[in-house]
Each structure stands twice: as structure tokens, then as C-alpha cells.
Amino acid sequence: MTIADSGNSMMENESLCLPCTPEDERRIVKEETQKAELNLKEGNLFYVVSNRWFSKWQNYVGEETGESQFKEISIDTEDSPLTKARARPGPIDNTDLLANEGGRDGSDLQLSRTLLEGSDYVLVPQGVWDKLHGWYKGGPALPRKMISLGEQGQMSVEVYPLALKLVDSRDKSETLIHISKKASLRNLYEQVSSLKGVDPKKVIIVDLFDEGKETTLPKLPDSNQTLEESNLQMDQRILLEVHTNEIIRPKLGMDSTGNELALVSMEPQRSSFTIAGGPSLSNGYGPHYGSSLYQGSSLGSVSTDMEDVRETVRTAPRGDRGLAGLQNLGNTCFMNSALQCLVHTPPLVDYFLQDYTEEINKQNPLGMHGELAIAFGELLRKLWSSGKSAVPPRAFKGKLARFAPQFSGYNQHDSQELLAFLLDGLHEDLNRVKQKPYFETKDSDDRPDEEVANEFWSYHKARNDSIVVDVCQGQYKSTLVCPVCHKISITFDPFMYLSLPLPSTATRSMTVTVFYGDGSSLPMPFTVNVIKHGCCKDLYQALGTACCVGSDETLILAEAYDYQIYRYFDSNDSLHSIKDDECIVAYRLSRKQAEFPKLEICHRFLENTNPGERKRFLTPLFTYLEGAKNGLDIEAAVNRVLAPLKRKAFSSSSRSVGIKVNGSASEGIEESTSECNTEVGNSSDDKDLKETHSGELSLNLCLTDDRGVGCKPISKDTVIKSAKIVKVILDWTEKERDLYDASYLKDLPVVHKSGVMVKKTKQESISLFSCLDAFLKEEPLGPDDMWYCPGCKEHQQATKKLDLWKLPEIIVFHLKRFSYSRFLKNKLDTFVNFPIHNLDLSKYVKSKDPSGGSSVYELYAISNHYGGLGGGHYSAYAKLVEEDRWYHFDDSHVTPVSEGDIRTSAAYLLFYQRVKTKPDESMGESSKVNDDF
């Protein structure tokens, strides 16, 4: 055989005169990739390739594409990748990535804005593209350059260049142009001039960045500033003006999201005062952009205009304060959601509406030179003084991209990740500590918890002192216990938010067929119930209990697909990776047998209608090889595992405990599974095995490679190379059909077969307190997170217990709806029932210090996530405390919402503020019942 089981593959390969085998292609691509990784620099070309096509190529060359390695509970062994389709892929096809068809010559091809790297497309170096395109042709080619982003110069491929809407003031025509964000303004002027056929010296480009606001971009030759530094954003409008004797600027309509570029010939007027305080800070334009914000009077302007800012906010219509939306700049709903929650946090509102310039820390190497704090404070003031008009957060997005390049593009991101970065960045920018002292952490050494906690907090405050620490940081107690010497280590660490797991109460019914790897019994189906959002470890345990697996036995779980083993499951794999229509099998072995090399056996038969063609059928069998050296050893192992299927070994009555041909289990099966008595073999099998061995092999066996490709006949003298797994194919003849009952290997039941009359399950619901309990429960550390025990002087898998010690004024709960495994990303839409009023955390707080404040909290904001991982959307609910009313902030749109409608299964981040109580009422307040919960 040549390639796969495709009858046309050989002819196709010959007609194309392929220079390489699949193994050679894989090796060449790997070498080109490594070469590119060693020479990463700005300007390198990468190509966008459809993941749909690239996955087919990976399958063809035998590269791992997401299947689990061969593992079982206690022993890690290797497995070669198996694929459901090994045929050679056709020409490269990137058409599924395109948002348009480009010009007639194929130019100006643009990608769809909703693509995700690794899911929809992959990036390959130019050398890899040249090889793949040489082998497969096709396309279209989608080259992208590597650029340097942010202050740290992080290298990234610019998959989405800037798209700017150019409006010509002469005829009001609109043209979409694409240009790199790292291009200079000089490059922009040159591209626009060339496109419009005008003299660059007569051109003026005006940035229309908001309704009624505009600024002229610097002209030639003083235009080396990059578009990234100029804060130009995706889909922005610019206006083109050409110097003539008389220029009349047309009125240009603005859409809801914003921003066009226009070409104009006169300098637009610009107000000397902005809400944010100073022209240099308002939009990031002008000669003092970037770190030069701290030169001259830039910071002074913040202070100078502070009284005007406060007056503007104070005199704004009461009904409009804090009701401004945020324009979506291109998949920035995640940012808008987190920002609306923060700008409606009362202590932060009070702080940033005051004069905070004295607290800006420009020298902190861990900060952003104060620029992030200024950009956030500026945005907050705009939102609290601009009435109900939506604000484009362009300047803030620009600063965010510079200091956090992971958020620089226009892909969807996680609002919690943004919140974590933003709170940490604001803290470092506003840290009152200029020189951080060094402290050596001391062990608790059986000292009172109060003493150790105060010591840790004093150390923390000596190095970290900001409005964020004052308002958002609490302290928890962490207890580690060594499982060997029982050494106890107690530390008290700060936290800024609590990431709570969502414990699942929903179960899932799964049917798995268990095979006996030692050939002692017939295969048997078992139906078990497991946690719906659990992992394969839960399935291993439930299945082991159902079929009475002993302490000296183990199970190997696999998916059978297309008459072969498609993948093996690791105990940590998510159950979401197993679909209801898949056929899952488990092979039962003793732990001693599991240490030996494994033998995987597939089956073929000779097709009568097409003489000479063999087709695969039946479910693969699996056993062990003890000291296998030659073909006779392989045959003995195959005979051993086939023994239960012998017709002469079982009567018709005993056969009724097996699997029906149609795949459904009989009532007799259900009874036998509950009795944990499945052994139906007898001692005559060993004698039968010995009788089959004569001088030659009695079975037609072939060795195949790791991918199930190729077939080498096995004789008694065939030498078996040492391997952790050996794969063979058994060719069935009439002799095997008469000797064995193959119906036991046909039409196995799928994981779950939905019936017509299936009852709809009620939506799963858990409480916020259940999530807290799961977060605070004692559990062992993972094998990759070992603790160095000072008693044993070795890394140990200690047990860890968390407790809340000191609560902050603002507490943020992050509900961990997104679960990730090696091969799967999943979102949990579980409804979490959380209190709106009187969230009482007193029972979770271990500190007895009454000065810690009340433990009762009030909800004031929620960040919501709707939909799945790829095409989801974020919005926010926020409460205007002065009005005691809730509003829905959905990007630019702000609408009132009733308090009864804010509890949904989309809640992702919950923001609570401590209820202020008088000292003599604190005890009574903390004992309140959550009457709305």
C-alpha cells in the first residue's frame, strides 16, 4: 500500500509527481519552522492558512492534531497519532477565511473579522508556505508581516492591518484603505496621495475621531510618528483635503461606532480645554505624545483643569451622569464591559474626579510611567460628564495596546484578563511607594495567626500603597501540609479578586463497552452516570465501580472509530471531548499486564464483490505482549484475546449475556452488570490455544505502522521490534467466521442514544456560596505545582487550604465559566444564583479583628458574557448608587433595566461593595439573612 486506504491516492500522487513522502513533508516543514523561530525579527513574512485545510495536511503527514497520547490511570506510555482521514489533501483553500473577493487581480483580499488563531487559521513562516504551495498549489496567498508592539517590543504577526475610511472632501467619495499600524504618517500621506493622484505637498489629512471633534495629522516632512502612536483605530474615518484657492469642507455624517479619515486643506480648530485636562492628553496627538507627556506642562494641565472638571461633573444634569456608553472599536466589547464596571465603582469615581496627579508614580519600573492611570482617569471623567453621548475609548485603547500588546489587535479577549491587567497597572502607576524595601518572608512557626497576618500585611503595604490596594485588595490565609513529614506552613497573601470554580450538579449518562484484555470474558456494555462537566477520571472511577475493577486492575479508555482505535483518553481529558454519538470502549487489564507492551488488533475481510480488495470491519481488540519476540508470540496473544468469541466455548443460553447485533443491551445484561459477575471463560481455553500452534501460523496476520498504513505479513520467524504498542491486522477467512462469533464485535452501543420521549432537564443552578465552598475546600496540589517542604527538603505534593482573612471594600468574584483542556475549550452556562443585597461573608472570614469592617456586601455591577468562546459578546449591568437604579451598558447603548432582570446565566464578573455600618450596628448587620437569595 502507498498512502491511506484511498483507492485514488496512488494515481493522484503519480500524476502530481510528488517529490516527497508524507514523512519527508513533515520533516521539511519542521525544519523550516525551526529555522524561522531562530530568526524572528520585525518584517518577517508569515502566511495565514485555513486551519480546515492545514488540519487535513497534519493528518496526512501523521502530525499530532489534538488526539490524546496513549495513557491510562497509572502508567504513561506513548501512542502514535491516528487520524480519521489520511488521504492527501487537495490544493490549499483559504477561501473560508475571506471577508471579500478582492479585485479582479485577487488583490485587496481581507480576512473576516471574527477569525480566531488556532481555531480558524494558523500562521506559517514564509519558508513553510513556499514548500506547501509548491507541493499543493492553491491559495489565495495571504501574507502578513511581523511587527513589534508595545513598550517591550513584543513580536507579533499583524493579521489585521488598520482599515481606514478615506473621505475625499472634493466629491465626498469614500475609499477603504489598508495600512500597517506600524507605518508612519509619512507612509499614509504617500499612500493617500498616490491613490488620489494629487501632489503630497497639497494634501492635508484630518482625523475625524469623534462627533464634532477633529485634528489635523502632522504634515510632511515631520510625520515619522507611527499610526499606532497616533491612536488611529480600526474602521476610523479620515478626511482628505487638497489645497485650492477656495475649499469648502462638506459636512460628513458619522455612524454610531465612529471615526473616519478625511482629506482637508485647512487646520481645524481645536478647543484648548478638554474634560481630561489638556490637549496633549485628550487624544494622544501633538508633539508631546507618549512618554513626553511628563515634560512641560502636560501633567500640570491635569491639575490646572481639575476644578473645571469637578464643576463640569457637578453641574451636569443629574439624570445623565454616568450614563454614557462606550463605542465598540472592533471586538472591544470585552474592554467596554470591564471598563463600565470599574468606572461605576464609587470609590474609584471619587478618586479619579479629584486631583490625583501627586500620586502618579513615573519612576516605578513595574508601572506604565503613569500613562495608563492618566488615560483611565481621563476616560472616567468623560463618561461622567458627557451626558448620554457614547464615548470612543480610542486614547485608552492606544495606551492599552502599547503596554499590553496581547490586547493590541481586534480579536475578542477575556474581560477578566483585562480587569486583572488594568487593576494591577493602575496600582503600579499610582503606587505611593517610590522605593520598595526588601523583606524576607518568615515562617509562621506556630505563632498566632493574627500576628503572622499583620506582619505579612505590613510587609505588603510597605511595598504596595495605592487606591487599588486601599479599595480592592484583601488577604487570604493559605495553609500547606506536607503529606510526608506533616510540616504545616501558613502564609497570608493579598488578593484583588476571587476566581471561583463552578461545581457541577448535573450528571450525564454514558455507555461504555468493556473488553477483557486477557481474554477471560466477553465484552460487556456498562451504563454509568458521571458529572456532566467532569473529566475522564470521573468516567474511569464510575466505570471501575460498575464492572468491579479490583485494586490490582486498571482500565484503558479509547474511542473506536472507522474500525480502529482513533484516540486514547487521559484521566485529565474533559468529558466534553466525548460526544454522544461516539463509540467508547474500555480495555481491562491487570496492573502487571499493563506494564507489558500492548497489542492493538484490527480486522479485515475479503470483499466478494470486488475481488482482491480488503475492507476493515469489527471493533479493534486490545491485549498485552509478555516477552514477545516473533510472529508466534503475536499469534498467541491474538488467540488469547479471541478465545471468548469461540462458538464451541459458549452455549446459546450463555451467549445471551453478550451484545445484540443491533447494538442494544438485553435485560440479561443489565442484571449481570449489577451482580459484578462477568467471567464466562473456562479452563479449556488454554488447551485450545496450545492446540492451534503447529509449525506455521494458523492466522493471517500483518504488521502495520503507527498510523495504520502499510501491511507486512507476519510469519513465525518475523522479528517483533521492541515498542510500547504493536499494531496488527487480522485478515478473516471462512475458517475464522466459522470458529468465532463476530457479532460480539459489531454495532457496539454509542455513548448515549437519545430517545424520542426524553424529558427536558431543568437548567442547572448553583449558589454563589457553593462556588465559594469549592474555592476554599482543601485539595492536593497538582503534580506540576509541587511545594518545596522545608522539613523534608524536597518537593512534595502537599495539600492546600485557603481561607478568607481580610476582606476589601470592593470584592470582585470571577466565575470560571471557561474550562480548558489540552484539546478543548468549553464554556459553562450554569446559572449562578447570587445575592443582590446583603451578601454575608462573615462565616468565611477567619479573622476575629473587629476593625476589619463589615462582612456584608451590596452588588453594584456585573460583567456579562453571552454566547460561546468564538462568537461571544460582553455587556455590563451597573447601578447608579445616587439614583438606586440599574442600567444595561451594551457598548454604545445604555438602557434602564429592572433589578429583577440582572440575575442571568451570563454573569461572569460580580462587583460588590461593603455595606457601611456604624460600629455598634456591625454585629447586627453581619447577621442579616440574604433575604433576596
Q: What residues are annotated to the active site? A: 333, 873
CA atoms of 545 and 523, how far apart (whole Å): 16
Cell numbers linked to 189: 500621506
How far apart, in whole angstroms, are the C-alpha atoms of residue 369 and residue 658?
A: 73
Q: Given the DSSP bridges, would you call strands 856-866 and 907-914 parallel, antiparallel or unpaired?
A: antiparallel
Using CA atoms, how far apart are residues 779 and 483, in angstroms rounded to an integer? 12
Question: How many whole angstroms separate alpha carbon 519 and alpha carbon 589?
Answer: 10
Q: Which amino acid is at 288?
A: H
Angle at 776 between CA 822 and CA 844, to 5 degrees: 155
446 and 896 Cβ atoms separated by less than 8 Å: no
Buried b (16+ CB within 10 A) or exposed e, 216-233: bbbbeeebebbbbbbbbb
CA distance 185 to 180: 11
What is the rounded distance in angstroms from the CA atom of residue 834 to the CA atom of residue 828?
Answer: 16
**C-alpha distances out from residue 856 to 214, 417, 500, 813, 923, Å:** 48, 27, 19, 15, 10
Residue 741 CA to residue 444 CA, distance in Å, equals 68
> Which three three-digit cell numbers place residue 269?
480648530
Rounded-to-integer distance, Cα 517 and Cα 521, Å: 9
User: Cis (ω within 30 of 0) for the bond into 221?
Assistant: yes
Distances (CA, A) of 465 to 324, 375, 377, 473, 858: 31, 20, 18, 10, 25
Q: What is the DSSP string of 347-387?
A: HHHHHHTS--GGG--SS-TTTTTTHHHHHHHHHHHHHTTST
Beta bridge partners of 766: 832
- Cβ atoms of 607 and 617 within 8 Å: the answer is no
Q: Is residue 83 within 8 Å of 89, Cβ to Cβ?
A: no
Q: Which of 638, 715, 646 is nearest to 685 (CA)?
A: 646
The burial class, CB within 10 Å (0-12 / 13-18 / 19+), for 857 is: buried
Residue-wise DSSP of 76-139: B-------S--SPP-SEE-GGGBSS---TTS-S--B-TT--BTTTEEEEEHHHHHHHHHHH-EE
Cell readout for 54 is 492545514
Rounded CA gap, 234 and 330, in Å?
7
